[in-house]
Amino acid sequence: MTAEWNRVVLDESRLVLHERIRGVEVSLAISPYDLPRAFRGVYLEDRGVLRVEFRYADEEPCERVNGHDCVSFEVGKHSRKLYAIEVEPSRHKVGVVKLTVAQALDHVDAAVRRLRDTCRQPNARLNYEAVDEVLRENREHLVLTAA
Protein backbone atom coordinates (compact mmCIF):
# COMPACT_ATOMS: atom_id res chain seq x y z
CA MET A 1 0.00 0.00 0.00
CA THR A 2 1.70 3.11 -1.22
CA ALA A 3 -1.22 5.54 -1.55
CA GLU A 4 -0.66 8.90 0.05
CA TRP A 5 -2.66 10.04 3.04
CA ASN A 6 -5.12 12.86 2.37
CA ARG A 7 -5.78 15.41 5.10
CA VAL A 8 -9.35 15.56 6.41
CA VAL A 9 -10.96 18.95 6.89
CA LEU A 10 -14.37 18.80 8.59
CA ASP A 11 -16.63 21.35 10.24
CA GLU A 12 -16.59 19.91 13.77
CA SER A 13 -19.44 22.17 14.88
CA ARG A 14 -21.85 20.03 12.81
CA LEU A 15 -20.75 16.85 14.59
CA VAL A 16 -22.83 17.22 17.74
CA LEU A 17 -25.45 14.85 19.17
CA HIS A 18 -28.45 16.37 20.93
CA GLU A 19 -30.45 14.09 23.21
CA ARG A 20 -33.02 14.50 25.94
CA ILE A 21 -32.09 12.41 28.96
CA ARG A 22 -34.63 12.31 31.81
CA GLY A 23 -36.02 15.66 30.68
CA VAL A 24 -32.64 17.40 30.33
CA GLU A 25 -31.29 18.44 26.91
CA VAL A 26 -27.72 17.15 26.57
CA SER A 27 -25.27 17.92 23.76
CA LEU A 28 -22.20 15.82 23.01
CA ALA A 29 -19.51 17.12 20.65
CA ILE A 30 -17.04 14.87 18.86
CA SER A 31 -13.73 14.33 20.62
CA PRO A 32 -10.59 15.29 18.69
CA TYR A 33 -9.50 11.67 19.18
CA ASP A 34 -12.61 10.40 17.34
CA LEU A 35 -12.16 12.76 14.40
CA PRO A 36 -10.28 11.29 11.43
CA ARG A 37 -7.14 13.33 10.65
CA ALA A 38 -6.43 11.68 7.28
CA PHE A 39 -7.74 9.03 4.91
CA ARG A 40 -6.51 7.10 1.93
CA GLY A 41 -8.06 4.77 -0.58
CA VAL A 42 -6.12 1.83 -1.96
CA TYR A 43 -7.18 -0.73 -4.53
CA LEU A 44 -5.74 -4.15 -3.63
CA GLU A 45 -5.59 -5.82 -7.04
CA ASP A 46 -4.58 -9.24 -5.73
CA ARG A 47 -7.82 -9.43 -3.70
CA GLY A 48 -10.04 -7.20 -5.87
CA VAL A 49 -10.76 -4.99 -2.83
CA LEU A 50 -11.09 -1.23 -2.44
CA ARG A 51 -9.77 -0.38 1.04
CA VAL A 52 -10.39 3.01 2.66
CA GLU A 53 -8.29 3.69 5.75
CA PHE A 54 -8.60 6.42 8.39
CA ARG A 55 -5.85 7.83 10.59
CA TYR A 56 -6.49 9.33 14.04
CA ALA A 57 -4.51 11.11 16.76
CA ASP A 58 -4.22 7.76 18.55
CA GLU A 59 -4.25 4.08 17.64
CA GLU A 60 -5.73 0.99 19.22
CA PRO A 61 -6.17 -2.70 18.38
CA CYS A 62 -8.89 -3.32 15.80
CA GLU A 63 -11.39 -6.06 15.15
CA ARG A 64 -13.17 -6.97 11.93
CA VAL A 65 -16.94 -6.41 11.67
CA ASN A 66 -19.02 -7.63 8.75
CA GLY A 67 -21.07 -4.92 7.16
CA HIS A 68 -23.68 -5.48 4.52
CA ASP A 69 -23.22 -7.33 1.22
CA CYS A 70 -19.65 -6.73 0.06
CA VAL A 71 -18.59 -4.37 2.88
CA SER A 72 -16.54 -5.08 6.01
CA PHE A 73 -15.09 -2.77 8.67
CA GLU A 74 -12.11 -2.62 10.99
CA VAL A 75 -13.21 -0.85 14.17
CA GLY A 76 -11.32 0.09 17.30
CA LYS A 77 -11.71 -2.61 19.92
CA HIS A 78 -12.49 -0.08 22.67
CA SER A 79 -13.70 3.11 20.95
CA ARG A 80 -15.52 1.39 18.02
CA LYS A 81 -14.26 4.13 15.67
CA LEU A 82 -13.73 3.18 12.02
CA TYR A 83 -10.12 2.51 11.05
CA ALA A 84 -10.79 0.85 7.70
CA ILE A 85 -13.57 -0.07 5.30
CA GLU A 86 -13.15 -2.78 2.68
CA VAL A 87 -15.49 -3.20 -0.24
CA GLU A 88 -15.21 -6.12 -2.61
CA PRO A 89 -17.22 -5.15 -5.72
CA SER A 90 -16.61 -8.49 -7.46
CA ARG A 91 -18.18 -10.41 -4.54
CA HIS A 92 -21.54 -8.74 -4.97
CA LYS A 93 -23.10 -9.69 -8.27
CA VAL A 94 -26.44 -8.67 -9.67
CA GLY A 95 -27.16 -11.43 -12.17
CA VAL A 96 -23.85 -11.70 -14.00
CA VAL A 97 -23.05 -7.98 -13.90
CA LYS A 98 -20.45 -6.96 -11.31
CA LEU A 99 -20.83 -3.74 -9.34
CA THR A 100 -18.99 -0.65 -10.49
CA VAL A 101 -16.83 1.09 -7.89
CA ALA A 102 -19.41 3.90 -7.64
CA GLN A 103 -22.16 1.36 -6.93
CA ALA A 104 -19.92 -0.37 -4.40
CA LEU A 105 -19.39 2.97 -2.63
CA ASP A 106 -23.18 3.31 -2.43
CA HIS A 107 -23.13 0.04 -0.47
CA VAL A 108 -20.37 1.46 1.75
CA ASP A 109 -22.47 4.58 2.46
CA ALA A 110 -25.48 2.45 3.39
CA ALA A 111 -23.37 0.11 5.55
CA VAL A 112 -21.78 3.03 7.46
CA ARG A 113 -25.22 4.53 8.11
CA ARG A 114 -26.52 1.16 9.31
CA LEU A 115 -23.49 0.81 11.61
CA ARG A 116 -24.15 4.31 12.98
CA ASP A 117 -27.87 3.69 13.48
CA THR A 118 -27.30 0.45 15.42
CA CYS A 119 -24.46 1.76 17.59
CA ARG A 120 -25.22 2.62 21.20
CA GLN A 121 -21.98 4.51 21.93
CA PRO A 122 -22.47 8.25 21.27
CA ASN A 123 -18.77 8.85 20.56
CA ALA A 124 -18.73 6.07 17.96
CA ARG A 125 -21.92 7.41 16.33
CA LEU A 126 -20.25 10.81 15.97
CA ASN A 127 -17.19 9.10 14.49
CA TYR A 128 -19.39 7.30 11.93
CA GLU A 129 -21.00 10.66 11.04
CA ALA A 130 -17.51 12.12 10.46
CA VAL A 131 -16.46 9.14 8.33
CA ASP A 132 -19.70 9.38 6.35
CA GLU A 133 -18.94 13.03 5.61
CA VAL A 134 -15.36 12.22 4.57
CA LEU A 135 -16.67 9.54 2.19
CA ARG A 136 -19.28 11.89 0.66
CA GLU A 137 -16.84 14.76 0.19
CA ASN A 138 -14.12 12.55 -1.31
CA ARG A 139 -16.19 10.12 -3.38
CA GLU A 140 -14.62 11.15 -6.71
CA HIS A 141 -11.12 10.66 -5.30
CA LEU A 142 -12.03 7.17 -4.09
CA VAL A 143 -13.54 6.20 -7.46
CA LEU A 144 -10.34 7.34 -9.20
CA THR A 145 -8.25 5.34 -6.71
CA ALA A 146 -9.84 2.11 -7.87
CA ALA A 147 -9.72 2.96 -11.56
As for how many domains the chain has, the answer is 1
Between the two ends of the chain, the Cα-to-Cα distance in Å is: 15
User: What integer pLDDT is reported at residue 17 of this predicted model?
Assistant: 83
Q: Is residue 138 part of a domain?
A: yes
Q: Confidence band (pLDDT; 50, 70, 90) for 134? A: very high
Cβ contact 141:134 at 8 Å: no
Spatial separation of the C-alpha atoms in residues 107 and 87, rounded to whole Å: 8
Nearest residue to 128 (alpha-carbon basis) of 118, 141, 142, 115? 115
Q: Is residue 51 part of a domain?
A: yes
User: What integer pLDDT is reported at residue 63 of this predicted model?
Assistant: 95
Q: Is residue 1 part of a domain?
A: no
Q: Is residue 114 part of a domain?
A: yes
Nearest residue to 123 (alpha-carbon basis) of 16, 12, 22, 24? 16
User: What integer pLDDT is reported at residue 97 of this predicted model?
Assistant: 41
pLDDT tens per residue, range 15-53: 888 888 899 998 888 888 999 999 998 888 888 788 999
pLDDT above 70: residue 121: yes
User: What integer pLDDT is reported at residue 139 of this predicted model?
Assistant: 86
DSSP 8-class letter at 78 = T
Q: Is residue 86 part of a domain?
A: yes
Q: Is residue 27 part of a domain?
A: yes
pTM tops 0.85: no
User: What integer pLDDT is reported at residue 103 of this predicted model?
Assistant: 77
Q: Is residue 30 part of a domain?
A: yes
Q: Is residue 126 part of a domain?
A: yes
pLDDT tens per residue, range 54-77: 999 999 999 999 877 778 999 999
pLDDT above 60: residue 104: yes
Residue 142 belongs to domain spanning: 6-146
